[in-house]
Structure 1
Amino acid sequence: MTKNISLLHSYRLLNHGSTTVITSAHAGQRNIMAAAWVCALDFNPPKVTVVIDSKTYTRELMEAEGTFAINLPCVKQIEMVKKVGGISGRDLPGTDKFVEYGIETFAAQEISAPLVKDCVAWLECKIIPEPHNQNTYDLFIAEVVAAHADERVFSDGRWHFEGHDELRTIHHVAGGVFYATGQQC
């Protein structure tokens, strides 16, 4: 049910402030982490910003490869989001979070980072090097090179969650508390 999304509509996958999981890969290593500070930045070409702390394993892989993926998890994935956000991939010698937590993935079209199965949207991103922003603010700017969404809840450039409560995106509001995207008004 995954459908490619026009890059011109890719910003709409992020413009409601949902929690994301960032995936990265380099030289046979891969990682996943929860991230809330992700934002659409520009339309054409589409760009995003993401804040990734300098101490994270995800960032190490992102910088080495020059790419990463933004995955938008849904209500049924809250426990997975909490798990991947609570431990560093460096703390799992000989394995990774995907194996440790049974997280299924599928291949991206344009980058090496895996995409997380059962999310409702995915953005494949190529980093635009901005060393000052990255080193001073942990802020990465990236061009979206491919975008995909679950057509049950995103089509014609719009989210529509009605009838699919388990597929609603989630929002972290601090202290491990999440809310699901609400009703359309």
Structure 2
Amino acid sequence: MNYLKNLDLAKSADRLLNHGPTTLVTFEHAGVRNVMAASWVMPLDFDPPKVLLVLDGSTFSWPLLEGSGSFVLNLPSRIQAELTLAVGSCSGNDVDKFATFGIGEARAQVVQAPIIPGCLAYLECRVIEEPHIQKRYDLFIAEVVAAYADERAFSNGRWHFPNEKLRTIHYSGGGTFYPTGIPFNINQ
């Protein structure tokens, strides 16, 4: 069953991120795709909604982002913690993460990028070109051009985690995650 609902960007996009969840960021350019885990993502503005993404210039994802000018922030749930740790612990230079981890693939609605099925929310983003900031600080500013969320966990512009499985996660290192509430550990 599909529980995703498109959101009013000006009223809801920032609220998807303002509690600081770990994200899975997806990219695609010239037929090459990648997914990476990222905690250094935050809302920047309301209308139009903007986000900040820190992305090291030496990553496999950097040229994909530069080439496409877009990405998707996928907000995984607690049941996706192992996947989050796995994709964050290897490089797209070494493996096709979608194939290696059996990630089903769906397509974003507006930008040219995959989305990770089963996440609680998605923010589709287009980079606002700021070459100096991007190169010097590894920081990308992007406008959110589409956002949608699982209505079971996000509706009326608010998160309301109905059970342990439908909670966003926060990563603190060493395989330890915190759902919105109680910490848990994924053994490495």
* Same structural fold, with TM-score higher than 0.5 when normalized by the shorter chain: yes
Please identify runs of 4+ aligned residues in structure 1 that moved more than 6 A.
Answer: none
What is the identity, as a one-letter code, of the residue corresponding to 1:181?
T
Who is 2:13 aligned against? 10
Measure, in 2, the Cα distance between the counterparts of 1:74 and 1:114. 17
Q: SS at 1:136's partner residue? A: helix
Give me the whole-angstrom Cα distance separating, in 2, the residues matched to 1:173 and 1:97. Answer: 22
**Equivalent position SS for 1:165:** coil
How many angstroms apart in 1 are the aligned matches of 2:23 and 2:115?
A: 12
Alignment partners' CA distance in 1, 2:177 and 2:57: 25
Query: Residue 61 of structure 2 aligns to a residue in which SS?
Result: helix
Specify the alignment match of 1:68 in structure 2. Answer: 71
Provide Cα deviations, 1:101-157, integer angstroms capped at 9, x if missing partner.
Answer: 011121111111111101000000000011111111100000000001000000000
> What does residue 151 of structure 1 align with?
151
Query: Within 2, Cα distance between the matches of 1:169 and 1:83?
Result: 17
Q: Is 1:118–2:121 an aligned residue pair?
A: no
Distance 2:174 2:100 in 1: 24
Counterpart Cα distance in 1 of 2:76 and 2:144 = 18
What amino acid sits opposite 1:26 in the alignment? H
Identity of aligned residues (%): 55
Aligned to 1:99: 99
C-alpha distance in 2, partners of 1:180/1:50? 21
RMSD between aligned residues: 1.0
In the TM superposition, residue 57 of structure 1 has moved relative to its aligned partner by 1.2
2:66 corresponds to 1:41: no
**Matched residue of 2:93: which SS?**
helix
- In structure 2, runs of 5+ residues without a counterpart are 183-188
Per the normalisation by structure 1, the TM-score is 0.94
| Deviations 1:62-96 (CA, angstroms, capped at 9, x unpaired) | 1110000000001000110011001111102xxx1
- 1:174 aligned residue: 173
Deviation of the 1:174 alpha carbon: 2.2
